Amino acid sequence: MLITISVKDQWALLPIGWFPEEIAVKTELLISASIIYTQTKIEDDLSKTIDYQYVSNEINNLKNVQFKLLETAVEYLINKLHKELHEKVDIQKITVEFKKLNIANSHTNCAFHGIFIEKSFV
């Protein structure tokens, strides 16, 4: 069976930007991550599943890494989650979305700018 765990719209303030002033003020984001994996049997055992708190912690740890582009940060998180979890469960797909909330110098009337990356492992 396929199981999806997800963390939706976790708030983060990260040092992402091309220009020093962007990095200094940091970027306010809502970050979502979903991990789809296969399991033959559901067991009441945390060691045989993915801990949601682990995923939230990895999102929070992004504040310790500097990125120039949202795309780079998203790919970094996907690779980190896969590296740490692939031996525990059979990961099929990881998707990560970053929603940039405070859009500097933007004359658009949108709620956010963002990026969504999906990576398959089958």
Neighbouring residues of 65: CB distance < 8 A, sequence distance ≥ 6? 15, 73, 76
The model carries a pTM of 0.90
pLDDT digits (tens, 9 = 90+) for 41-86: 888 888 888 999 999 999 999 999 999 999 999 999 999 999 999 9
pLDDT digits (tens, 9 = 90+) for 93-106: 999 999 998 765 55
| Position 111 confidence tier, pLDDT thresholds 50, 70, 90 | confident
Distance between first and last Cα of the chain: 15
Mode of pairing for the β-strands spanning 27-38 and 113-120: unpaired
Ordered by where they begin, the domains of the chain are: 2-120 (3.30.1130.10)
* Residue 68 CB neighbour total at 10 angstroms: 14
pLDDT, residue 60, reads 97
Mean pLDDT, the chain, as a whole number?
91
